[in-house]
Amino acid sequence: MNINFSNACEEEINEFHKKLSKTIKQKRLEKNMKQLDVALEIGIKSVAFYSNCENLKYGKHFNIEHIYKLAKLFEVKPHELLK
């Protein structure tokens, strides 16, 4: 018996992460920043981890704290990254 208690399927969540990562990458490029610079600014000590989040590799993605810090760095409201 396979019961799904979620209101969103895995595909929908993956699409959300994909759009979020694309928006973050776009904002980073608009600011002419390197991944390393952004990672260090938001307290991530590993550019590889940041890159994996931005490119959705190995199941890595940005969390709510990252989104808050990225919004502050890019001088936008957090909800603007989630559009």
Q: How far apart are CA 16 and CA 14, in angstroms?
A: 5
Residue 24 domain boundaries? 10-81
State the pTM of this model. Answer: 0.87
Residue 72 lies in a domain: yes
Q: What is the CATH number of the domain that holds 76?
A: 1.10.260.40
Flag whether pLDDT at 52 surpasses 90. Answer: yes
Q: Report the pLDDT value the prediction gives residue 6, as an integer from 0 to 100.
A: 78
Residue 4 lies in a domain: no
Average pLDDT score over residue span 45-50: 94
Domain count, the chain: 1
Q: Report the pLDDT value the prediction gives residue 79, as an integer from 0 to 100.
A: 95
pLDDT digits (tens, 9 = 90+) for 1-42: 566 667 888 889 999 999 999 999 999 999 999 999 999 999
Residue 35 lies in a domain: yes
Q: Report the pLDDT value the prediction gives residue 5, as an integer from 0 to 100.
A: 65
Residue 73 lies in a domain: yes
DSSP-assigned states of every residue in 17-74: HHHHHHHHHHHHHHTT--HHHHHHHTT---HHHHHHHHTT-TT----HHHHHHHHHHH
Residue 38 lies in a domain: yes
Q: Report the pLDDT value the prediction gives residue 77, as an integer from 0 to 100.
A: 96
Residue 28 lies in a domain: yes
Q: Report the pLDDT value the prediction gives residue 40, as an integer from 0 to 100.
A: 96
Residue 33 lies in a domain: yes
